[in-house]
A and B are shown apart, each in its own frame.
Chain A
Amino acid sequence: MYSLLGGIFLGWSLGANDASNIFGTAVSSRMIKFWTAALLASIFVILGALISGQAGIETLKGLTSFDLSQAVISSIAAALTVSVMTFLGLPVSTSQAVVGAIIGIGIINSQLHLAGLGKVFICWFTTPVGGALITMILYKILAFVYNHLKIGLFGSDQLLKICLIISGSYGAYALGANNVANVTAVFVGAGTLSILEAALIGGLSIAFGILTFSRPVMETIGKKLVSLDPFSALMVSMAVGITIHIYTIIGVPVSSSQAVVGSVLGIGIIKGASTVSIHTLKNILLAWFLTPVIACLIAILITFGSYLEYTGK
């Protein structure tokens, strides 16, 4: 049981950080109350993990073979990487940290499933691009429909609010389904948990993070996107949910933060405005490269450290 603590901690921090990508805009701009968002996100994260989390777990556990101590090491390495990157102020992806740590273990074991890794890398690169494309397509179609709706100002306001709640819940479902693998897949690989147990424990730990510590992150990180008008915010929320869901079907855990940045860029392209600064883009690119590398190195270092013996000399 104690060996699962590293994974649960990772799930908790994932829930605390990534819920803002789903409901941040709506909560920070007071379109939805925090507790409504947190409860919906928690319920749908658990449902997503239980109903659709299997594919991602299969992919990550298939990257290499683990024993229990290596599963614990990869969880700790990923959690440490997330902490270091957060400390450095770089936008961190838990998915990249976990995969980086698994690669470290794979290098130690001299056993890496390269085809699986290739699929994961391609998905990382296509997440923001996919987010941007989906946002642009959604925007064009739904803006046409929205402008031609025969409803008043109050009706369209209510419609936006309802759609934000629905798309946020869908995004939470997709987040749970996609990211639960980051939390507990290594323990399935080590044979400690069944897939269903992993999905349940992973989903619960993410939900716990959302309920206990997502409020400050939702209220601060979400504000970075507040300059978006309500319709654009809804498009970003929908596009993030769809993007993450597509990668869930493919079976690769991806970063919801990168999907959000891609979506916001998509809005910028459509409106001909600069929605993300060059500085933010540079940080994302840097974090893209650094996160898996640091996680891999930490996993290797911890593994070597665990082999050291005190000789008494």
Chain B
Amino acid sequence: MFNFFFKKENRLEELIYKYLENFQLIYENFEKAVFSCISEPYCEEFNFLKEQTDKYESKADDIIEEINNLMYSKVLIPDSREDIMNLLHALDKIPGDLEIVLFMMKYQKLVIPEKFFKDVQDLIKVSLEACETLSKQVAGFIKKETGTRAFMNIIDKHESHCDYIEKRLIQKIFSSNIDPFVKLQLKELVLCMGDISDQADRVSKMVNILSMKRRV
């Protein structure tokens, strides 16, 4: 009935869901890219998937830019405006982290030794599961659905699991007899992969606080 008066708000809502869809495409492409690199380093498919991930990341920036412009034209009440902007900026750090991992793999020409395959795959898988749950949690927050805390607990578990794999992997890297320079490169890569679930956990806790704040 009042849709006519809230055109900008409706557009903003559309953009947020568009951002979340795009976020999903980024981490799905990222997963395919990393796994293709593990099985066959420097392959065509990896390059293609990396470019696709970059393209989606750039699209995410465009969506955030449009959301920014709408926010500055006074869409939503000030409290919600601030909450949503902070949330999206925090969420948008994750595609950045994913891009850094692919960038390191491509330009440092990193080849993951076979003995670390399993752990790297696990680390990526669990990190991306955290991202998937986070996407659901953010959508639930926008729709004001219940279950925000349950999602936060799931992401927290994923993050702890990732921390465990990350430490184990670094330990294995330094106990192996590979070149010391490669050891440092791999350690750096594993730490960057670990940042994904850390950031997902931070954003998830933020969503939980925002959700509690909105209850009167």
Instruction: Tell me the A residues contacting B by CB distance below 8 Å.
Output: 29-31, 139, 143, 146-147, 150-158, 160-162, 229-232
A sample of 19 cross-chain residue pairs with beta-carbon separation below 8 angstroms, ordered by A number, consists of A30-B74, A30-B78, A31-B78, A146-B216, A147-B215, A153-B80, A153-B142, A153-B143, A153-B144, A154-B6, A154-B142, A155-B144, A157-B77, A158-B2, A160-B77, A161-B77, A230-B77, A230-B79, A231-B216
The reply to whether B216 and A154 form a contact with Cβ atoms under 8 Å apart is no
A158→B141 contact, CB < 8 A: no
Contact check: which of A29, A156, A230, A231 meets B144 at CB < 8 Å? A156
Q: How many Å lie between the Cα of A252 and that of B12 in the bound state?
A: 47
In this assembly, does B13 line the interface, its C-beta being within 8 Å of a C-beta of chain A?
yes
**How many interface residues does chain B have, given as a range?**
20 to 34
Which chain A residues border B84 with CB–CB below 8 Å? 153
Per-residue interface assignment for chain B, residues 145 to 166, with 1 indicating a CB less than 8 Å from any chain A CB and 0 otherwise: 0000000000000000000000
The residues of B that contact A155 with a CB separation of less than 8 Å are 144
B139 CB, nearest partner CB in chain A, Å: 10
Contact call A29/B214, Cβ cutoff below 8 A: no
**B76 at interface by CB-CB < 8 Å:** yes
Chain B 60-79 against A: per-residue CB contact (8 Å), 1 yes, 0 no? Answer: 00000000000000101111
- Name B169-216 residues within 8 Å CB distance of A: 214-216
Query: Is residue B9 contacting chain A, with contact meaning CB distance below 8 A?
Result: yes
Complex formed: what's the CA distance from A161 to B9 in Å? Answer: 12
Q: A30-B78, A157-B80, A160-B77 are in contact. Are A151 and B216 (CB under 8 A)?
A: no
Contact B80 A152, beta carbon cutoff 8 Å: no
A244 CA to B67 CA, complexed, in Å:
41
Q: In the assembly, what is the distance between CA of A229 and CA of B77, in Å?
A: 10
Measured between beta carbons, the chain A residues less than 8 angstroms from B78 are 29-31
Distance to closest chain A CB from B87 (angstroms):
10
Cα–Cα, bound, A231→B84 (Å)? 17
Chain A residues within 8 Å of B215, by CB: 147
The residues of A that contact B79 with a CB separation of less than 8 Å are 229-230
Q: How far is the CA of A152 from the CA of B140 in the complex (A)?
A: 9
Output the least CB separation between A33 and chain B (Å): 8
Q: Is the CB of A157 within 8 A of B144?
A: no
Q: How far is the CA of A230 from the CA of B79 in the complex (A)?
A: 8
Let me know if A162 and B74 touch, CB within 8 A: no
Cα distance, A75 to B215, chains bound together (Å):
48
Report how far A294 CA is from B215 CA in the complex, Å.
46
A162 cross-chain contacts in B, Cβ below 8 A: 2
In the complex where A147-B215, A231-B216 touch, is A152 in contact with B142 (Cβ < 8 A)? yes
> A152 contacts which chain B residues (CB < 8 A)?
13, 142-144
